[in-house]
Amino acid sequence: MYLRRPTDITPSTITPQEVYDSRRAFIKHAGLALATGVSAIQALHINIAEAAQPTIARQKLSGYSKTTYGANEKLTSYEDVTTYNNYYEFGTDKTDPARSAHTLRTRPWTVAIEGAVKKNKTLAIEDIMKLAPLEERIYRMRCVEAWSMVIPWIGLPLAKLIEACEPTGNAKFVEFITLADPKQMPSLRPGILDWPYNEGLRIDEAMHPLSIMAVGLYGEVLPNQNGAPMRLVVPWKYGFKSAKSIVKIRFTETMPQTAWVKAGPREYGFYSNVNPSVDHPRWSQATERRIGSGVFAPRIKTLPFNGYADQVAQLYTGMDLSKFY
Ligand code: MTE
């Protein structure tokens, strides 16, 4: 998807989203028609949402509060959020994770805390979820591939989790390391990325009130394909910063090397702030396609910091963002 090597070109990379959407709808309806004996045209009238049963059990999350974040945004459908995914451990096609991620076991789940901390420790997901009241926040998510979604996440402020980790004064960066278990992850092969997938933030970025650790979406426990049981959400950065299924948090004095920077340092930087004036070497970042908006919908102008500049731009005062991309 992101890399120059020919082996990295996947069908979803070279399939425009509207073609992908119509192909997916056709396959779904044709499949239904075969199964039920009705014509494909008749099948088109069958409720798509009912037909597309997710592969994993859906479980309601209780005890979270609504917030005003993104209250005026039009949400991307649950179906699009949970079937158009990037989770390479489960395949590089957009539809692979929804199909394959049922093999991920999310309980028991613990997160190791290490590096520049008062003392190493292990936190259970259940305890992490109690560190702060869970909140629903509607965030725009901008993928580096120039598409976007609007997702009602449920999570806790990342700052609360960082505080519970008790980093020392030496901690300048925080690294998030994700699960890499070939027994649960069918696509964990060499040559795709240097596993485990990892990401990182400067401590002040991690402590920013907009950064959250998500444990759910659309009122439910996070589906496996979206990074269960907990994944990062940093809405002013490209989506690849949002590491999924985190098992280790490490505090460091120096900037960590991250999976995408290792894979393509000319194309992906550590900061990865959404920036319409710094193009990816192979495509423009000036506009984006909102997933689910329809074949004829005009592209949306991408905003600096994904529209969150008034809240986060001061984190980068004095930095040349074309150099620190
Ligand atoms: N985390 C892991 N462990 N593996 C991945 O392949 N893909 C990233 C990010 N987190 C990825 C990951 C990318 S490229 C994006 S755009 C987002 O997850 C996609 O999140 P979504 O599928 O929930 O929209």
Query: pLDDT tens, 112-164?
Result: 999 999 999 999 999 999 999 999 999 999 999 999 999 999 999 999 999 99
CA of 227 from ligand 1 middle (Å) equals 8
Enumerate the domain spans of the chain. Answer: 15-51, 60-316
- Residue pointed to by tokens 């805390």: 113
223 neighbors 54 (Cβ within 8 angstroms): yes
Sign of CA dihedral 287, 194, 223, 16: positive
Is 97's pLDDT higher than 70? yes
Q: What is the pLDDT of residue 2?
A: 58
- For the cut 50, the answer to whether the pLDDT of residue 27 exceeds it is no
Least confident of 10-19, 181-190, 250-259: 10-19
Residue of minimum CA distance from atom 22 in ligand 1: 85
Per-residue pLDDT for 257 more than 80?
yes
- Is residue 299 within 8 A of residue 287, CB to CB? The reply is yes
pLDDT band at 175 (very low <50, low <70, confident <90, very high): very high
Ligand 1 site-directed mutation target among 244, 247, 262, 306, most atoms within 8 Å of CB: 244
Nearest CA to ligand 1 atom 24: 85
Dmax of the chain from CA atoms?
Answer: 67
Q: Do the Cβ atoms of 176 and 198 come closer than 8 Å?
A: yes
Q: Atom 2 (ligand 1): residue with closest C-alpha? A: 244
Looking at 4-18, 90-104, 289-303, which range is the least confident one?
4-18
Residue in 86, 89, 139 to alter for ligand 1 test, most ligand atoms within 8 A of Cβ: 86
Residues with CB under 6 A from ligand 1: 85-89, 143, 178, 197, 226-227, 239-240, 242-245
CATH 3.40.50.2000 fits 60-316, yes or no: no
Res 1: pLDDT: 53
Q: Are 305 and 317 in contact (CB under 8 A)?
A: no
Q: How far apart are CA 105 and CA 110, in angstroms?
A: 12
Pairwise CA distance, residues 237 & 169, whole Å? 25
Confidence at residue 34, expressed as pLDDT on a 0 to 100 scale: 41
Q: Output the pTM of the full model.
A: 0.86
Rounded CA-CA distance 92/241 in Å is 17
Residue 88 Cα to ligand 1 midpoint, Å, equals: 8
User: Is a pLDDT exceeding 80 seen at residue 35?
Assistant: no
Task: Select from 187, 188, 242 the residue to mutate for testing ligand 1; criterion: most ligand atoms less than 8 Å from CB.
Answer: 242
CA-1 nearest atom, ligand 1: 14
Rounded mean pLDDT of 6-17? 40
